[in-house]
Copies of this chain bind each other. A is one copy, B any other.
Amino acid sequence: MRHDGSPYPERVSRLRAGISENDALLVLHEKNIRYLTGFTGSDGALLVGRDWLTLLVDGRYATQARGEAVGTEIFEFHSRVDGIAAVAGQRGAGAIGFEAPSLTVADHLALQEKLPGVVFYPLADGLQSLRAVKNEAEIALIREAARIAGEALAAIRGMIRPGVREAEIALELEYRMRRGGAERAAFETIVAAGANAALPHARPGRRAISAGDCVIVDYGAVWGGYHSDETCTHIVGPASERQREVYRLVREAHDRAIGAIRAGVTCGAIDGIARTFIEEAGLGAHFSHGTGHGVGLDVHEAPRLAAGREEILQAGMVVTVEPGVYLPGDWGIRIEDTVLVGEGGCEILTPTSKELTVL
């Protein structure tokens, strides 16, 4: 028996649904392994049979795996491929389903060579939806990550003023998040000022803030392995009328999308609400990315809120809503919250007000 309250047996049985007696599933994605066993190391493999479960780790992680993946059989390997072949052979697996986006061609070739009688087949959705609906404990971790991050932003907001460099602000924000308890930043913090704010994936650099800049801060923290993700766009005064107008537009697109989120709606419909609103203002060409994505053990995970996506939102999913408008060479505005999907609406987990802030 597992420890009382362990979430892992239920997760493994969801994964097992539909696999037949001689099949095994090979799980390689680090976060999926963590989700299914509790093991937090970065180099392992998990084999899942209908009535057996083996976590494979190398010698560096054996002690850690025994402590974290309580009740799971641990197999220690020197070479990962050799280990997988040994366990699959010993269990008599006739077919092995794998996550095609996580298995490299090199490992695939080596496994086929070592297990010539075994049929390898890619799993339909690569387990991507496995982690999409969060339980209470997961939601509490994301909420805490968002709180730590928001407090850090509030503490360093005074740095967003003319003459301060993007990279200095990013560094202080990450430092404050970690001093506040974060395991690490959820991703390389984006602080993008002026024309850099027109690049959705700008890296903070030596550019100093000037009066009149939009300053996009896209940041998050990790707590207990779970991520937060939030974007605040500040305007360092004086703000132009056009900046105020586009800010109001993006804010309204963001608010409308969030207002529509509830269980039963498709992801594509939410994207459409934000996108149509921006398109009708004539700025559709400047909203060059999807409206949002799931957040959890990965900062980007299922589902994706983008045009045409048919996945249906379910209560317990945690997703971002982050419309943006980017005017190349000039400036950009993005506004992002992370929200928890409920039956009749959603709850915003990220703590910072999205009112226009002119600093």
- Contact surface of A with B, Cβ cutoff 8 Å: 41, 59-61, 63-64, 98, 100-109, 122, 126, 171, 175, 178-179, 184, 188, 199-201, 288-289, 328
Chain B residues with CB below 8 A from A61, complex form:
201
Per a CB cutoff under 8 Å, which of B64, B104, B175 touches A103?
A: B104
Quick one: which of A101, A105, A201 has the most chain B CB within 10 A? A105
Judge whether A101 and B106 touch: CB under 8 Å. Answer: yes
Closest residue of B by beta carbon distance from A175: B175
Q: List 23 A-B contacts (CB under 8 A).
A: A41-B201, A59-B288, A60-B199, A60-B201, A60-B288, A60-B289, A61-B201, A64-B199, A100-B104, A100-B105, A100-B106, A100-B109, A101-B106, A101-B107, A104-B105, A105-B105, A105-B108, A105-B122, A106-B122, A109-B122, A171-B175, A171-B179, A175-B175
Q: Which residues of B contact A103 (CB under 8 A)?
A: 104-105
* The residue from B101, B107, B171, B328 contacting A178, defined by CB atoms under 8 A apart: B171
A171 contacts across to B, CB distance below 8 A: 175, 178-179
Residues of B within 8 A of A199 (CB): 60, 63-64
Which residues of chain B are within 8 angstroms of A126 by Cβ–Cβ distance? 106
- The complex places the Cα of A199 from the Cα of B179 at a distance, in Å, of 25
Work out how many copies of this chain go into the complex.
2
Instruction: Give the distance in Å from the alpha carbon of A109 to the alpha carbon of B99 in the complex.
Output: 13
Which residue from chain B places its CB closest to the CB of A59 in the assembled complex? B288
By beta carbon, the residue of chain B nearest A122 is B105
Q: List 8 tightest A-B contacts by C-beta distance, closest first.
A: A100-B106, A101-B106, A100-B105, A60-B201, A103-B105, A171-B178, A105-B108, A175-B175
CB distance from A170 to the nearest CB of B (A): 9
Report the Cα distance A328→B62, complex, angstroms.
Answer: 12
Neighbouring B residues of A108 by C-beta, 8 Å: 105
Bound CA–CA A41/B202 (angstroms): 10
A330 to chain B, nearest CB (A): 13
Chain B positions within 8 Å of A105 at CB level = 98, 100-101, 103-105, 108, 122
Question: In the complex, what's the smallest C-beta–C-beta distance from A159 to chain B, in angstroms?
Answer: 14
Q: How far is the CA of A106 from the CA of B128 in the complex (A)?
A: 13
Q: How far is the CA of A175 from the CA of B167 in the complex (A)?
A: 12
Chain B: CB-nearest residue to A100 = B106
Q: How far is the CA of A328 from the CA of B108 in the complex (A)?
A: 35
Min C-beta distance of A213 to chain B, whole Å: 18
Closest approach, in angstroms, between the C-beta of A149 and any C-beta of chain B?
A: 16
A60 touches B200 (CB 8 A): yes
What is the distance, in angstroms, from A184's C-beta to the closest C-beta of chain B? 8
Complex: how many Å from CA A188 to CA B41? 13
Q: Which residues in B have their C-beta under 8 angstroms from that of A178? A: 171
| Smallest CB gap from A101: residue in B | B106
Residues of B within 8 A of A41 (CB): 201
In whole Å, how far is A293's beta carbon from the nearest beta carbon of chain B? 14
Residues of B within 8 A of A188 (CB): 184
Q: Which of B98, B184, B328 contacts A63, CB < 8 Å?
A: B328
